[in-house]
Structure 1
Amino acid sequence: MTGTSDPQGRRPPASPRRFEISSTALAVMAGLLILSLMASGTALWMVLSNRSTAASTSPAATSATDAAECNAVTIADTVLPSVVTIHLTSSSGQSSNGTGSFIDEKGNILTNDHVIAAAANGATMTVLRSDGVQSPAQLVGRVPRLDLAVIRTDPDKDTVVGTGTSSTLNVGQSVVALGAPLGLSGSVTRDIISALGRQMPLPDASGELSAYLSDVIQTDAAINPGNSGGPLVDCDGRLIGVDTAIATVPTAEGASGGGSVGLGFAIPVDTAMAVAKEVLRTGSFTPGSLGISVVPLDESSAASAHGLYVNAVTANGAAARAGLKVGDVITEFDGQKARSFEDLVIATVRKRAGDAIKVSYTRNGQSSTATVRLT
């Protein structure tokens, strides 16, 4: 997170890295997004303190708690004590900030990797609690591939964020985002889940595509640079996602538009917490690779449809060696139904290279199984 400035020349919170993608690319799968990274004409800036995606749909919201019942005052009172503002200062004096949430009573904080990446290069890190207490923090473990990290500060009777699930979310469901946009700690915004199952490209510090996340939550709750790593919660104040990205419209000069335009993205909590628990257990998270890219099926197309469509297979990778091909639809991992990219993450979270996973899939209407040995 280095060296960028906002349109007024100030150094923005979370020092977002930027890349450009054509607006038409938002309608295609993530595997095609890299083709439009430097597209000209009408475009969207994807800010790593805020980034962007592809497409998917979900059934209409069925939650009993609608927007009228989603009390942001109560949520703020409940959740803000679990939220911290993360400050980093490099040896050269450059500073940035982001957000995180206490996930246990031992002082462990979940955030985005890009928020704390400078700490891996010697930057000092402190956290500011909601009561104004500031304390030093240390890096526990980072997972750049999934843009997640865990840091730790001295515990002080901290409130732990309640954890929900991202497996039962619905488009239209009300949500609340909390954090420190533009360094303004303790900020709260409310709106809805706009879409589910988005694909989100992850650029590295140079702007090159290094990886991407699947099954990301899209929200129009306002999030901005500095919200990165902060909680997206449901109307009961339970964590459902980690705010990670926004798309912004560029200026006429081609510079980043800067603020929220209602396209925000969060990493689902089921993925984030599975990764965080492994980081706390071992200090790192390096999942075994299946060597495939997948997108969820549109379940509205058939009452019984579920599965992950394989849209890319790595040559000589684990899936290729097991016989999987582009066009296959994976229906189960190790006996568990596969409906989202999160299911893939959870199936591999405690496995390493060399471990085997039984995969059930369909090809041309025929059901088959394969044993994939992770690489």
Structure 2
Amino acid sequence: MKASRAAARRTSLTVAVVCAAALASGCSGSGSPSASPTGSPPGSTARAAPAAADSLQDDYQRVIKDVLPSVVQIQASSDLGSGVVYDDQGHIVTNAHVVGDDKTFKVTTASSTEALTAELVYAYPEQDLAVIKLTKRPDGLKAARFGDSAKVAVGQITLAMGSPLGLSSSVTQGIVSATGRTVSESRSGGGTGATIANMVQTSAAINPGNSGGALVNLSGEVIGIPTLAATDPGLGNSSAPGIGFAIPASMAKTVADQVIKVGKVTDSGRAALGITGRSVLDDGYKPAGVAVVTVTNGGGARKAGLEPGDIITRLGTTDVPTMQSLSEALAEKRPGDKVTLTYLRDGAERKAEVTLTEI
């Protein structure tokens, strides 16, 4: 009796695996193939299973063959990361935290072990993006195709390409698990401290060294620049498996186009209050708001009457007990937006309408 039950379990498992591989619904609850609605002969579903797997594998290999030559390894003095060839002039897009304070870099392409030299064009830590340029353009250099971030959807298959842990030309796979995330980087974790809006969340493994590489869809388009993995405070701030974030491709294009054209970012599209501030605690040692340290001339806060010493507690309807929460709230806004700012002055609550300026 025990052997019969084990055999039944093995038979049921085999049928379930075949059905899942074929993405088919033609399996009955008893473990027997159901009749095909189109009158297909018995066994046609089983034959379709390896065909579907082969087709998906072919898609993966086609995309990797097409895009991987456009992903490079970047060696800075204190960091190693990845980059994406942006055009046929040798410009490469990467993360600002990969380049750090360096001005020159060693770059290795997927098709060669010879290190090339590149120079910094411009770093934009506010969005954790940077552009470097090869001093000598090698033959066969291929620019990647950047996709439209507005078309990125949850459930799309993604491939992350880069040099995780120094392993050049590595590829991991997953899906887009969320869009529109606003994420703040930690300076202590090697980031720039930037708060970045509209990030793409992916289950593809993002490890140290993947930063600045390519998150790619099955159409062979770069849809994001992998930047960081989520951390779990409960595990000592170690990486949380299966949760990584990428800067949307459209933002990378916006920054790169301006840098290549004029040498810097002239239109960030990022909103600002026009202050410097610091988080403050209440009597119970809990975050209570953002104390204004300085007010920028010409900024929205100064025009609205804010002064050093004021404590900002709410932006619109969003409570902002810390500088990070204020940065995240501002990341959702655009320059020119009008917001109601709630703040404390000498213990009394006040409100002011502020027109946001640009970083």
1:69 shift after superposition: 4.7
Q: 1:222 Cα shift? A: 1.0
Structure 2 residue 195 is the aligned partner of structure 1 residue 215: no
Quote the offset at 1:360 in angstroms.
Answer: 7.6
Aligned to 1:174: 157
Contact 1:102 1:160 in 2 (8 A): yes
Q: Which residue of 1 aligns with 2:75?
A: 87
1:152-182, CA deviations, whole angstroms, 9 ceiling, x for partnerless residues? 1121231110110111211111111101111
Cα separation, 1, equivalents of 2:331 and 2:250: 11
Cα separation, 1, equivalents of 2:212 and 2:191: 21
Q: Is the Cα–Cα contact under 8 Å of residues 360 and 370 in structure 1 kept in the other structure?
A: yes
Match of 1:226, SS state, is coil
**Structure-1 separation of matches of 2:355 and 2:231:** 43
* 8 A contact 2:121–2:131 mirrored in 1: yes
Question: Which of 227, 239, 244 is the aligned partner of 1:244?
Answer: 227
What is the root-mean-square deviation of aligned Cα atoms in Å?
3.7
Which of 129, 150, 159 pairs up with 2:109?
129
Distance 1:208 1:182 in 2: 16
Q: What is the Cα deviation at residue 249 of structure 1?
A: 4.2
| 1:155 corresponds to | 137
Matched, 1:106 2:68: no
TM-score computed with the length of structure 1 as normaliser:
0.58
Where 1:263 maps in the other structure, the secondary structure is strand
Match of 2:6 in 1: none
Instruction: Quote the Cα distance in structure 1 between the aligned partners of 2:96 and 2:358.
Output: 24
Instruction: Summarize deviations over 1:101-127 as a string: whole Å, max 9, x none.
Output: 10000000000011111414xxx5111
Who is 2:119 aligned against?
138
Q: Is the 8 A contact 1:328 1:361 kept in 2?
A: no
State the distance in 2 between where 1:285 and 1:222 align.
Answer: 30
Structure 1 segments unaligned to the other structure (5+ residues): 1-66, 294-311, 330-339, 349-356, 363-368
Higher helix share: 2
Percent same amino acid at aligned positions?
A: 36
Q: Report if the CA contact (8 A) 2:72-2:110 is conserved.
A: yes
- Extract unaligned runs of 5+ from structure 2: 1-53, 275-289, 305-313, 319-329, 341-352
Secondary structure of the residue aligned to 1:228 is coil
Tell me the TM-score normalized by structure 2: 0.61
CA distance 1:234–1:371, shift in 2 (3 Å): same
The answer to whether structure 1 residue 327 and structure 2 residue 316 are counterparts is yes
Report how many aligned residue pairs link the two structures: 253
Residue 247 of structure 2 corresponds to 267
Larger radius of gyration: 2
Are 1:283 and 2:263 an aligned pair? yes
What CA distance in whole angstroms lies between the structure 1 residues aligned with 2:332 and 2:220?
Answer: 22
1:342 CA drift (Å): 8.4
The structure-2 alpha-carbon separation of the partners of 1:87 and 1:209, relative to structure 1 and needing over 3 Å to count, comes to closer
Residue in structure 1 matched with residue 66 of structure 2 by the alignment: 78
User: Which letter maps to 1:144?
Assistant: P
Larger RCO (CA within 8 A; separation ≥ 6): 1
- 1:227 partner SS: coil
**Partner AA of 1:136 in structure 2:** T
